[in-house]
Amino acid sequence: MPSEEELDRAAAILRSGHLVAIPTETVYGLAANALDREAVRRIFKWKGRPLSSPLIVHVASLEMARSLAREWPPEAGILAGAFWPGPLTLVLPKQPIVPDEVTAGLDTVGIRMPSHPVALELIRRTGLPLAAPSANQFTQLSPTTAAHVRQAFGDSVVVVDGGACEVGIESTVVALRNGEVTVLRPGMIAVEAMEALLGRTVHIAGSVEGPHPSPGMHHRHYSPRTRVVLVAANQLPEGAGAYLHISEPQRSGHNMAMPSDPAAYAQRLYQVLHAADALALDWIAIELPPQTPEWAAIHDRLRRAAN
């Protein structure tokens, strides 16, 4: 965990309108003062990210969340009450204080209260909501360790090291509008858990009747450089590659054993993909996990990695 001096330094950088890579429980974020347009523009510049892709704003209290949202429907209170702090982003109508740079010109803003103590502490120390996308170059794999961030940005960005991320994949993004609840990006907070809590149907964007998926959710997102293929157990391509397996390993070659529990699998996924990618082999083959609801978010990330 970072020292007091490191936290003070990071807070000072953030207050001055510059960027700091911060740990969250999902993935590392490239953070800036969400209320400062210039600071937010720096995020897009550093990531090489199109301005059409809105950012998530991280808060440390319900009060801060509500200061950014023009409406706070009952579903927001229920979901935030159950899952905050944690890996859930709520998309709500925005207040005018949220700059258009954060929301890519949309009338809504994505808000999340992370559970990582370092993220919460930096928001409290600065007193600022922090806009932060994943701290990777656009279309590259998301970072789940400080070392991953340094690989992407070198020494040019200050990284606060908060250890390896516990959740390991990006938050569930949920839009609340016109009394409807719609998942824009699946994550480890499952549709079924939200439905049970709310006692109603939660829609999934991109399904036949659903609205559009999250803006900026490009298909080539979360991709390693090496070709990724999703396979049935031991149905491997020709040539040399790394095999991420849940069941039996391949007889020869690089085997990477993956947990059979979805939460543990998600936690390891990007770390293993980063390591497999670094081997620069012909392919990375990933054994498809079971087709059950608790694996839905992992299937989503695997499909994107293989795209």
Binding site for ligand TXA (CB under 6 A): 24, 26-27, 29, 53-56, 87, 89, 91, 103, 106, 108-110, 112, 132-134, 170-171, 173, 184-185, 214-217
Nearer to ligand TXA, 206 or 259 (CB): 206
295-302 contacts at long range (C-beta below 8 A, 24 or more positions apart): 295/262, 295/265, 296/186, 296/190, 296/191, 297/169, 297/172, 297/186, 297/187, 297/188, 297/190, 297/266, 298/169, 298/262, 298/265, 298/266, 298/269, 300/185, 300/186, 301/169, 301/222, 301/269, 302/228, 302/230
CB under 5 A: which stretch of 131-139, 147-155, 195-203, 205-213 binds Mg ion? 131-139
Q: Which tokens go with 70?
A: 């023009």
> In angstroms, rounded to a whole number, what is the distance separating the alpha carbons of residues 189 and 262?
12
Per CB under 5 A, which of residues 219..278 are in contact with Mg ion? none
- Under the binding rule (CB under 5 A), the answer on residue 134 touching Mg ion is yes
Q: Which range binds Mg ion by CB under 5 A, 56-64, 128-136, 188-196, 275-283?
A: 128-136
To the nearest whole angstrom, how small is the minimum distance from the Cβ of residue 179 to Mg ion?
Answer: 29
Place of tokens 């390991």: 168
The amino acid sitting at 181 is V
SS3 155: coil
**Residue span binding Mg ion (CB under 5 A) among the ranges 106-114, 130-138, 240-248, 252-260:** 130-138
How many amino acids of this chain bind Mg ion (CB under 5 A)?
1
Q: Which stretch binds Mg ion (CB under 5 A): 35-43, 46-54, 127-135, 184-192?
A: 127-135
Q: Which residues touch 304 (CB under 8 Å, ≥6 apart)?
A: 219, 220, 221, 222, 223
CB of 287 to ligand TXA, least distance (A): 25
Query: What minimum distance in Å lies between the beta carbon of 8 and Mg ion?
Result: 28
- Report, in Å, the least distance between residue 142 CB and Mg ion: 6
Positions touching Mg ion (CB under 5 A) are 134
